[in-house]
Structure 1
Amino acid sequence: MDFTVRLPIDAAEARRRLLEKGVLAGIPLGGFSFFTRNDMLLTVTEAHSKRHVDLLVDLLDSVLGG
């Protein structure tokens, strides 16, 4: 499943911060069509366990200052 999230910070910066934690996730969508620089495309498939999804949520919260 693909979905777009609008982050409180620039999506490219969020991706950079995730990379610093060893996680490659999300595609910044700024510059495409009607998307803003804070929009990020995320994908989750059946290959991802609930634990993996929860880890991504926790890491995103961490890099967003939550």
Structure 2
Amino acid sequence: MFRELLVLAGVSLVVTEMCVVKMLHEYSADGGSLREALFWAVPTVFSGAMLLRFVDALLHG
């Protein structure tokens, strides 16, 4: 159980990081599309929340 939660937390961390990078890239691209950046903000928040949930489960069993 611990190993599975650790793997899920790692995957969630990678997805969160990728979404943040994509969001910043879209916003800083030529002209800076705020709409595209906000489009990537939704999965960033969702994957970040999942990461916190997995870490909480790891810490509190």
TM-score with structure 1 setting the length: 0.35
Higher helix share: 2
Bigger radius of gyration among the two: 2
Could you tell me the TM-score, scaled by structure 2's length? 0.38
Q: Which has the higher strand share?
A: 1
